[in-house]
Each structure stands twice: as structure tokens, then as C-alpha cells.
Amino acid sequence: MFLMNAWYVAAWDHEISHALTQVTVLEKNICMFRTQGGDVVALDDACPHRKLPLSMGRLQGDSVECGYHGLTFDCVGQCVWAPGGRIPSEARVHAYPTHEKYGLVWIWMGNPVLADPEEIFEIENFDNPEWGMNRGAAMELDCNYLLMCDNLLDPTHVAWVHGGSFGQAATKDTPLRIKKTDNGVIVHRWMMDVEPAPFYKKVIGFKGNCDRLQHYEVRYPSHALIRAVFTPAGTGGPDGPLHPDTFIMDSMNFMTPTTAGKTRYYWFQLRNIRPDDEALSQMMSEDVQHAFEEDRAVLNAVQNGMANKTSPHIDLPIDAGQLRFRRQLEAMIAEETLVDGKMQGA
């Protein structure tokens, strides 16, 4: 169901403090907290004695004390105190590797030996002072994470779901191009000499028609880069010179499966204009949040429709990128399951 040996977003960094917090990732409840030194700790949220969630206990310095009988666990999940004086050898909980990057707390759900923070992909211009940022709170979606991945490999849906913001006439039927990469799938297209979409009209720095790039890229297991490029008509295209007034917005999207039917969605945008304009950041955050609410309403309904369908669903040519992504991810999960099974058999 899920790719285990991968980094997922567990929380925004400000959501984890020196207090016990339960988060759910890949159907596993995890107890998270910061040490007094600021490091993030993630332990299985179940005391091995009677399975009371450790998040219902209390911190004793940098150790977690169970709220039922006081078994106490250190930051690597080893029991360091138990009532009666003898600590059973089985008194330990799994500790998950974590890493902080981009204002997010990442967690590795698979084999801890394989956890390499270098595998968290680099976000271009994240620390560039010439680029501005806007973001919002994480969103709870009542749908499987792959439906959101589908959505982010689907430039066409904006014509109907986001007609008042990201959509325009050209987004309905301009042909799509699909590219498979080593770490995901890209669906993209240039739309030449078209009217800017309503959301972007408010922020681009030129008048008249534009050449517009929709770059929709989802990387395994569930992270997406959506790049929007708007340049004056006649200066775009794969080989275009790009005008000095070209507007670029990179939307970063991280889908964390909490259960088979629920997803926590983290997002922020980087833009190449007016980095210190707080009013612009607020306006963009509010407009993007509104568009994502439109996505949430549709995807929640799609989840319900697919779960309760009484006839087969169909695919369209515009679904090619989504289907390619799903097939490769399924193959990766199957290979991981096979390797884990052989290791356990050994």
C-alpha cells in the first residue's frame, strides 16, 4: 500500500515542541517531541506493556514516561526504568529517523539503516533572498494520497475546478507532453499567446497576452513540484529567450498518507518577484488556499465515488502521466515488499 523506505513530511517544524504530540503516518501512530536541545524524536506511540499511547504520558527531561505504569523510554526507544526494578528485554519501542529541512520535519518510515537525508530533494531558490514565499497550514484530505498525486499530474483539471483562478480556455485541450524521470513523472505543456489566468493576472509584471508553461511533476513517493511560467507572448516555449519580466512560481506539495483514505497535505510557493512584499504573500496564500479548497471538495467526493462505485471507472488520454506514475510506484512497493520478505525469511 505504501512505499516504506522513503522520506515523508510528519509536521511543520513549529508543530513539534518539547511536548508529546501524536502524529499518524502510513497508518502508524507516532509520538513526537523535541529534546531540550531542540532535536526531534519520533517513537512508536504505544508502550510495550499495555499499549497505552506514549503521547498520553509525560516528559521527564528528554525521556518519555508512560502514563499507565511509568515505564520510561529514552530517545532511541530503549526502556530505562520499569516498576519492580527489572527492565524486560522486550521493553523498547521503535525509533524513526527524522530530519528538518525547508521548515518541515521529515520522517523515514522504513529500514533506519537506509535513511539518508541527502535523498530529500533540493528545492531550487529556497534560500534565495530574491525569491518570495507564501504558505498555509497543512490540510486534511478525506482521500487516498494517490488521488492528490493524480491531481498534481493533471494540468487539464484547472480549466474546470479552478476556472476563476488557475484556469483559462487553453488549459482545456492544449496537448500534454509526458516525461518519465529517475524519480518521478513530469506532465507539461507550453500554451502560446494566451490570456493570463485570473490568479496570475494580479501578480505578473507585464500587460497583454503571454506564453505559459504548466510543469506538473510528482516524485516518488508523493512529493510534487508545480512550476508556472508566464512570459510575454513570443518569448516562451522550450527554446524561448524568456523576457526579463517573466514570472515564475514554484509550488511545492508534500502528500503524507495518514491512512488508506486520509492524507495530510503540506504546501508552499516560491516566486521570483517582490520577496519582501508581505501583502502580496498574504494575497497569494489566501488565493491558493481557496483553490486548494476546491481541490479538496472534488477529491473527497472522488474518494467516496471510487469507494462506492457500482460500475468500472474509465481512463482518458489525459490520464497517461498519472497511470505511469502509479504503475512505477506499485512496482517499487512490490520490489520493496519482496526484498523485505526475503530478509525476514533469511
312-335 mean pLDDT: 97
The answer, yes or no, to whether residue 345 has pLDDT greater than 70, is no
User: What per-residue confidence (pLDDT) applies to 220?
Assistant: 98
The answer, yes or no, to whether residue 346 has pLDDT greater than 60, is no
Tell me the C-alpha to C-alpha distance, in Å, between residue 203 and each of 75, 215, 271, 282: 47, 19, 10, 12
What CATH number belongs to 7-117?
Answer: 2.102.10.10
Rg, Å, the chain Cα set: 23
Measured torsion, CA atoms of residues 145, 147, 153, 155, in degrees rounded to the nearest 10: -130
- Matching residue, cell 512490490: 334
User: What per-residue confidence (pLDDT) applies to 338?
Assistant: 87
How many percent of the chain have pLDDT more than 70?
Answer: 98
Query: Which residues are within 8 A (CB) of 123 and not within 5 positions of it... i.e. 6 or more apart?
Result: 102, 250, 252, 270
Using 50, 70 and 90 to split pLDDT, how confident is the model at 344?
A: low
Q: Which three cell numbers stand for residue 215?
A: 510543469
How many percent of the chain have pLDDT more than 90?
Answer: 92
- Cβ atoms of residues 236 and 196 within 8 Å: no
**What distance in Å separates the CA atoms of residue 86 and residue 92, rounded to the nearest whole number?**
13
5: amino acid identity, one letter = N
170-188 mean pLDDT: 96
Using 50, 70 and 90 to split pLDDT, how confident is the model at 168?
A: confident
Query: Dmax of the chain from CA atoms?
Result: 79
- Cβ atoms of residues 234 and 242 within 8 Å: no
- Cβ atoms of residues 288 and 281 within 8 Å: no
What CATH number belongs to 124-330?
Answer: 3.90.380.10
The answer, yes or no, to whether residue 6 has pLDDT greater than 70, is yes
The bridge status of strand 63-65 relative to strand 72-73 is antiparallel
CA 154 centroid distance within chain? 16
The answer, yes or no, to whether residue 5 has pLDDT greater than 70, is yes
Measured torsion, CA atoms of residues 187, 191, 194, 197, in degrees rounded to the nearest 10: 10
User: What per-residue confidence (pLDDT) applies to 242?
Assistant: 87
pLDDT 10s digits, 101-130: 999 999 999 999 999 999 998 999 999 999
Query: Residue ranges per domain, the chain?
Result: 7-117, 124-330
pLDDT 10s digits, 186-197: 999 999 999 999
User: What per-residue confidence (pLDDT) applies to 264?
Assistant: 98
Helix/strand/coil for 340: helix
Q: Kindly state the DSSP code that residue 79 receives in the 8-state scheme.
A: E
151: amino acid identity, one letter = N
| Cis amide bond preceding 312, omega within 30 | no
229-258 mean pLDDT: 95
Per-chain mean pLDDT for the chain:
96
The answer, yes or no, to whether residue 342 has pLDDT greater than 80, is no
70-92 mean pLDDT: 96
User: What per-residue confidence (pLDDT) applies to 1?
Assistant: 86
Using 50, 70 and 90 to split pLDDT, how confident is the model at 85?
A: confident
Beta strands in the chain, from DSSP E residues, in sequence order: 7-12, 21-25, 28-34, 40-44, 58-60, 63-65, 72-73, 79-81, 98-101, 104-108, 132-135, 139-141, 177-180, 184-194, 210-219, 223-232, 247-259, 262-271
Tell me the C-alpha to C-alpha distance, in Å, between residue 262 and each of 17, 55, 89: 24, 21, 36
